Amino acid sequence: MKNVILKNKILLSILLIVSILILVFVYNDYYLYKTPILKITKIETKEKANDRNKEIIYEQKITGIILNGKHKNEVYELENITSKSGVYDEQINKNSELFLDISNDKISIIGIKRDKYIVILIVLFIDLIILVGKSKSIRILLSLLVNVIVSSIVIFWYQNHYNDINILFLFLPISVMFIVLSLFITNGKNKKTLAAIISSIISLFISFSLSIIILKLYNNTIPYWNMEYIEIITDYKNLYYVNILLCGLGAIMDIAITMASSIKELIEKDSNITLDSLLKSGKEISKDITGTMTNVMLFTCYTAVIPMFLLALKNRMTIANTIHMYGQLEMIRVLTSSISIVLCVPISLYVSVYILKRWKHD
């Protein structure tokens, strides 16, 4: 017992030290950048006289010093114009670090350094998952890492081939790969995993086909022209279908593995359980697990429309028009993934019972 506590203390200290080291590193990573980074030493913000617009416009006079590259330690002065709302400009404060373009006579800001905020959250996330997840955390992190690596490879590869490859046909096999890898890594090699994988794949294809059929039927009413980045991608319909495919993917796996675990639990508790009572208990479980999952999809996906909605409403567009124009695409995504969640419940119930119960007799 004492050994365990000591071991925990050592692990905690290592975690703490590593986290601090990473944060120190990311707060001083300027030398890694090729673009000159400006640290602001002085910033003067003053209201600009403005009678035409109702909104206050600010003029910012920024003085700062370059932190990296061959211009290191040189002092630069520049100006930035920002507004109270900040819809389409950068609100710079004295803690901001700016990327500059100093190749021309006119110095311009090309971006703001945001990497440290992402890294802070990543460190917080990993620390928390290790503290809460204990031994399970390694599998969770590994599965996430594999998913991130696979998606990055696919996306980076597709970046260069986006005009000659049908994105839908690329992502159909990839999504099957996601299912197999994620479930396999988090749950290990056993019958439960197999049941979950098979039910996920069946549910994915049934619900996806259903969604595509409906989308094709109502093709003309879908405001595809409101998709982001549409100007560059000619194959926007297939891109949207891929969005739909991926959106429900994780939720389907969630339902499938929960169902497989519960059925396995029931069989293990009472190995003589009849098929009928197994299905009956499975149906009881299914009532519980659909409940809030649909709301998770709604809240995580639909919130993406908020800035656009707000801008439209503030420009005196009616609520009905705004929902129609800017809410539809996201709502279709939420609804189709909710449909796949619900479809997955009976499918995973029957598949799990079939695999776990029947194979028991063999």
Partner 1 sequence: MIKILSLILFLLLLLVGKKQGLKTFICFYLSYFLLIIYIVFMGYGFNAIIVSLIICVIESLISLFLLNGYNIKTKASFMSITIVLIIMFIIIFLIGKHANIQGFSYESIESIGIFMFDINYNMTDVIIGMYLVCTIGTIIDTSISISSSINEIYENNRKLSQNELFESAMNIGRDILATTINTLYFALIASFIAFFIWHRAESIEYIINYKVFAQDVIELLLCFIASILIIPITSYICSNKLINSDKQK
| Contact set for partner 1, span 283-302 (CB under 8 A) | 286-302
Write the interaction track for partner 1 spanning residues 206-245; mark x where CB under 8 A is met and - where it is not: ----x---x---x--xx---xxxxxxxx-----x--xx--
Smallest separation (angstroms) from partner 1 to the CB of 319: 6
The interface with partner 1 within residues 168-197 (CB under 8 A) comprises 178, 182, 186-187
For residue 87, give the DSSP letter. Answer: S
Exposed, middle or buried: residue 204 (CB in 10 Å: 0-12, 13-18, 19+)? Answer: buried
Angle 330-205-174 from CA coordinates, rounded to 5°:
80
Least separation in angstroms between residue 330's CB and partner 1 is: 10
Using rule CB under 8 A, residue 269 touches partner 1: no
What residues numbered 64-103 form the site for partner 1, per CB under 8 A?
83-93, 95-96, 99
d(CA 26, CA 31): 11
Please, what is the minimum distance in Å from the beta carbon of residue 361 to partner 1? 28
- Shortest Å, Cβ 242 to partner 1: 7
Q: How far is the CB of 17 from partner 1 (least distance, A)?
A: 21
Residue 43 DSSP SS3: strand
Question: Which 3 state secondary structure label does DSSP give 62?
Answer: strand
Give least dist CB 4 to partner 1, A. Answer: 14
> Residue 277 or 361: which CB sits closer to partner 1?
277
Among 40, 102, 140, 273, binds partner 1 (CB under 8 A): 140
Contact flags string 19-38 toward partner 1, x per CB under 8 A: -------------xxxx---
Helix 293-302 / helix 328-361 crossing angle, nearest 10 deg: 150
Q: Is residue 358 close enough to count as binding partner 1 by CB under 8 A?
A: no
Cα 59 to chain centroid distance, Å, stands at: 36
In the complex with partner 1, which residue's Cβ is closer, 92 or 263?
A: 92
Nearest approach in angstroms of CB 82 to partner 1 is 10
Task: Mention every residue, 6+ apart, whose C-beta is less than 8 A from residue 302.
Answer: 327, 330, 331, 334
Site size with partner 1, rule: CB under 8 A: 128
Q: Please report how close the Cβ of residue 279 comes to partner 1 at its closest, in angstroms.
A: 13
Give the amino acid at 119.
Answer: V
Told to check if 198 binds partner 1 by CB under 8 A, we report no
Nearer to partner 1, 103 or 361 (CB): 103
- DSSP letter for each residue of 201-217: HHHHHHHHHHHHHHHHH
Question: Shortest gap between Cβ of 304 and partner 1 (angstroms)?
Answer: 7
How far is the C-alpha of 133 from the C-alpha of 129, rounded, in Å?
Answer: 5
Query: Which among 169, 175, 195 is positioned nearest to 267, based on CA atoms?
Result: 195
Residue 254 half-sphere exposure, CB side, CA atoms within 13 Å?
17
CB-nearer residue toward partner 1: 24 or 361: 24
> Binding residue for partner 1 (CB under 8 A) from 198, 343, 353, 356?
343
- Of residues 51-70, which lie at the interface with partner 1 (CB under 8 A)? 53-55
314 binds partner 1 per the rule CB under 8 A: yes
Judged by CB, which is closer to partner 1: 279, or 308? 308
How many Å apart are CA 248 and CA 58, to the nearest integer? Answer: 44
Locus of tokens 């003053």: 46
Q: Is 167 in the site for partner 1 (CB under 8 A)?
A: yes
H helices of the chain, in order, are 2-27, 115-133, 136-159, 167-187, 191-217, 236-269, 275-290, 293-302, 306-314, 319-322, 328-361
The number of angstroms, rounded, from the C-alpha of 300 to the middle of its chain's C-alpha atoms is 9
Closest to partner 1 by CB, 63 vs 90, is: 90
